[in-house]
């Protein structure tokens, strides 16, 4: 099984993604607000704006299908509902083990 917290081999990871639009399989979900670049724990922090009341969601970089640098868009292999149901991003909580485990618990069953 692929580690969803690492970039896929076919996705370029050397692009500065902050500010890029994020497209789920069924439409626009927000913009990249921040990135984490830890080894085996890389993720996008996506600001969903008004769509789910300004919540931020952590999206593992392994679900990125492609990056369109010219149009500043990241395409992910998740639906809007999957993003909506993901755990909230809470600044500085990423490094706390119970919070990190909640992300692993959520994304693990998807089999990515």
Q: Where are the domains of the chain?
A: 21-110
Residue 28 pLDDT: 94
Selected residue with higher pLDDT from 58 and 105: 58
Pairwise CA distance, residues 77 & 46, whole Å = 14
Least confident of 1-10, 11-20, 24-33, 96-105: 96-105
| 94 pLDDT higher than 60 | no
Length of the chain: 112
The pTM assigned to this predicted structure is 0.82
Q: Which long-range contacts (CB under 8 A, 24 or more apart) does 39-43 make?
A: 40/3, 40/5, 40/6, 41/5, 41/94, 41/100, 42/5, 42/6, 42/7, 42/13, 43/5, 43/103
- 21-110: which CATH topology? SH3 type barrels. (2.30.30)
44-69 confidence digits (pLDDT tens): 889 987 766 678 888 888 899 999 99
């Amino acid at each position: 099984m692929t580690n969803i917290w690492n970039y896929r081999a076919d996705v370029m990871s050397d692009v500065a993604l902050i500010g890029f639009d994020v497209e789920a399989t069924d439409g626009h979900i927000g913009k990249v607000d921040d990135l984490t670049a830890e080894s085996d724990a890389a993720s996008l922090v996506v600001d969903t704006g008004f769509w789910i009341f300004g919540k931020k969601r952590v999206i593992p970089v392994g679900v990125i299908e492609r990056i369109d640098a010219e149009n500043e868009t990241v395409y992910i292999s998740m639906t809007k509902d999957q993003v909506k149901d993901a755990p909230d991003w809470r600044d500085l909580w990423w490094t706390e083990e119970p919070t990190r485990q909640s992300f692993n618990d959520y994304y693990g069953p998807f089999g990515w």
